[in-house]
Every structure is written in C-alpha cells, then in structure tokens.
Amino acid sequence: MSGTGSWALIEAAAGSLIAHADELTELDRPIGDGDHGINMKRGAEAVLAKADSLAALPLAELLHQSGMTLVMTVGGASGPLYGTLLLELGKALQGQADPPDRATLAAAFGQAVAAVKARGRSDIGQKTLLDVLVPLHQALAGHQPLATLGPLVLAAAEATTPMLATRGRASFLGERSIGHLDPGARSSALMVVTLLEALHQGPATVTP
C-alpha cells in the first residue's frame, strides 16, 4: 500500500468529501454553523493540491502531511479533530510495516481515536464523529470481516439521528438537536466507506 497505493486511498477519501460537500453542509445547517461540507472540501482540495509532493510518500508520512494540511486549512472543530486523527495515525504507524497488517492498523487506529476523544473532550454517545470512529475501531480490533465495516459505519452514523448532542455547537440546541444526523458522523462514515471500496473494489462510488 506504500507510495502511490496509499495516495490512491487519500485521493478517494478526498474525492468523496468533495462530492458530498453540499450534503454535509446541508446536514450542518440545522444543528451547526452550516459549513461542514465547505470546510471539509477546502481541506480535501488542499491535500489533493499537494499530489506532487505527497503521492510517493510512505503511508505514515503521507498521513502526517495530510493531517497537517487539514489542521492548517480546515476551520472550526473539524480541522483539529480530523487533523488529529490523521496525525496520530501517522505517528502510530511510523516504523511499522507498510502496508500495516490488520492488528497494527487496529492498534494505530485505536490510538488515533483516543487522541480525537482527548482533543474534543468527548466520547461515544454525544452525537459526534466518535459515534462512527469508536464502533469502527471496535470492529477492526474485533476481527470483524472488512465487508461488514461499510454497512457498520453507515448505520453508526444514522444512529446519531435520535441522539441528544452534548458536545459541539449542536449541544446549544439541547433537545432540538434530536432528529438530525450528525454531519461529522456522516463525513467519517463516507470516508470509511470510500476507503473500503478503494481497497477492495477498485474505484470508489458512494451513493448518498
């Protein structure tokens, strides 16, 4: 997965964010500040613009550089949260086999999710991206077949709809946050589904 193989995954995830930017922004309008899609698209485009310098990097370094790009270009909480996820993932995979085996990836992802929890002072059940990332980590660590992970993350994102937001801008709305899909959970799920498709089925196609 090293070199251009890893880059193809980053490209796929970035492409998915760009393709779904309007949807993510629409989700953010009722319970946030209506800029999630715009912010994520800006970050994705900034990463893609660095193709020349990033495409040949080993996976760990590619994750670090991509994370740093998100930190510097994505506003709001999304930049620090997704930036931290990639930076920590890169840090955890530094010096590991490239591509990593599943156990290594699961452990590294666990470390990255813990860092996101710390950054957001948040955990599962608060209507955030962690409601997708935590179950994904549990499934990865628990040896669930890769084919089940796509449906799992999409369902995990949907499961944020009835939740009461207790972190982030949506928490200001109190009970009015109930009934809306969390945009961060949705963007996480979209990226994961796209990555899985890119890994196993060639070019990515995610339908809304």
Partner 1 sequence: MTVGIVIVSHSPKVAEGTADMVRQMVGTMVPLAWCGGDGQGGLGSEVGAILQAMETAWSVDGVAVLVDLGGAAMQAEMAIELLDEGRRARVQICEAPIVEGAVIAATEASGGSDLAAVRAMAEQLSP
CB of 92 to partner 1, least distance (A): 16
In the block, residue with structure tokens 């937001």: 165
**With left for phi above 0 and alpha for psi between -120 and 50, is residue 117 left, alpha or beta?**
alpha
Run of H or E including 24: helix 21-31
CB of 86 to partner 1, least distance (A): 12
Of 129, 176, 170, 127, residue with least CA distance to 153: 129
CB of 6 to partner 1, least distance (A): 24
For partner 1, give the closer residue by CB, 135 or 184. 184
For partner 1, give the closer residue by CB, 138 or 167. 167
Retrieve residue 46's tokens: 């900034």
For partner 1, give the closer residue by CB, 69 or 194. 69
For partner 1, give the closer residue by CB, 43 or 100. 43
CB of 80 to partner 1, least distance (A): 4
CB of 76 to partner 1, least distance (A): 4
CB of 184 to partner 1, least distance (A): 12
Kindly report the number of other CB atoms within 10 A of residue 15's CB atom. 17
Check: CB of residue 155 under 8 Å from CB of residue 97: no
Residues that bind partner 1 (CB under 8 A): 33, 35, 39, 71-72, 75-81, 83-84, 119-120, 167-169
Cis amide prior to 99 (ω within 30 degrees): yes
Of 54, 44, 53, 57, residue with least CA distance to 12: 44
For partner 1, give the closer residue by CB, 80 or 125. 80
For partner 1, give the closer residue by CB, 3 or 34. 34
Cα separation, 128 vs 176, in Å, equals: 15
